[in-house]
Each structure stands twice: as C-alpha cells, then as structure tokens.
Amino acid sequence: MNRRDALTRVGLILGGTVVGAELFLSGCTNAPDKSIGAAGTNFSADDIAFLDEVAETILPATDSPGAKEAKVGTFMTVIVRDCYPEADQKTFVAGMQKLNDVCKQKNGKVFLDCTPEQRHDLLVALDKEQKDYMTAKKKDDPSHYFRMMKELTLWGYFTSEPGATKALRYVAVPGKYQGCIDYKKGEKAWATS
C-alpha cells in the first residue's frame, strides 16, 4: 500500500483530513542536523509517557491491547518532529502544556496524577472543544492541539502491530480477492496490509 492510500484510509477512519497530510504525501524529513525540531520538539521520556497516557485514555485496553502497548506516544513524537510543519509542531508542543493546565484548573492536579475517570471526562470536554473550534476555524488558523493528539492516536494505533492484528481482523495472506463481503454489526473491521 502506498502512503496516499494509507492516508486516505486513515482520513476515512477519522471522518476528515489529517493535519499536515500534504507533508505526509511528499514524505517525511528529518530535522536538519540538529536533534531538536523547529519548535523545540526534542521530546523527553516524560513527554512520551504523557502522550502514552493521553492515547491510552482515548483507546484503552479492553479485549484488545490499548494505545500504550502499541507505543503510540513514541509514534506521535516521531510524526510531529519529522513530518509536521513548524506551526503545527509549536501548536502540538504548547498543547501538551495546555492539556495539563486545563487539567489542573478542572481537577487540581496534572493529567498523570488524575484518576482514569477524571482523565476520560477531561478528554471528552477537550474533544467537544476541538470540534467547536474546528467548525468555526478559518483557513489560516492552526488546528486544535487535541485534534492532532486524537488523530495521531488513531493513526498510530491502527497501523501498529497490536492495533492491526488484535483490534482489527487481520489475515497476513488473505487468499483470493473478494470485492464484497457481508458485514455484521459488531464484527471487527478488516486490517489492510
């Protein structure tokens, strides 16, 4: 599968477009010779742990592995650092701090110190906020930081080995092509390779 097809499918999963998709289509590039990206995107182990917890709250472990097991936090940092334009990098990095600030205002403690229920409620509120923001946003306005986090969580999870093989139905060598297969409500979707 080529990148264009993969992005189209991820976009369909997300019900829209992926932030910075034009850069994904042209290819990712490493930050020039320095380890820090344009917006200071040299993510620490604590940043990755924080993003893993945000992702795990969005896609928790159930009968299939959660986002943390799929190492979605690491995936997010690579994509933001290597593929996002500078403006989106800045929005994402500032958004990590904003998420913690909003959490402190609402719960009196940082995100990592909150209960799973408090984390869930906070992310539900941020999801509503980002939907309202994206509806009213002008073309040149930056994307909402939580939208970026949510998109990267879904993309990273469903393209990871645990997400594709345990959350989706996966057949490494599917055999003959069947253009139309009946879908029964409640079945897992098929992973594509």
pLDDT digits (tens, 9 = 90+) for 34-66: 444 444 568 999 999 999 999 999 999 998 899
Give the pLDDT score at 55.
96
Average pLDDT over residues 70-87: 95
Q: How far apart are CA 154 and CA 150, in angstroms?
A: 6
Tokens of 161: 């080995």
Average pLDDT over residues 58-78: 94
Q: 86 with 39: CB under 8 angstroms?
A: yes
Taking all residues of the chain, what is their mean pLDDT, rounded to a whole number?
A: 83
Give the pLDDT score at 4.
55
Q: Report the length, in residues, of the chain.
A: 193
Of residues 29 and 149, which shows the higher confidence score? 149
For residue 49, which amino acid is it?
A: A
Does the pLDDT of residue 91 top 60, yes or no?
yes
Does the pLDDT of residue 120 top 50, yes or no?
yes
Q: CA triplet 95, 29, 68: central angle to 5 degrees?
A: 45
Give the pLDDT score at 144.
95
Give the pLDDT score at 115.
96
Give the pLDDT score at 33.
41
Q: How far apart are CA 109 and CA 172, in angstroms?
A: 45
pLDDT digits (tens, 9 = 90+) for 159-193: 998 888 888 877 776 667 777 778 788 887 777 65
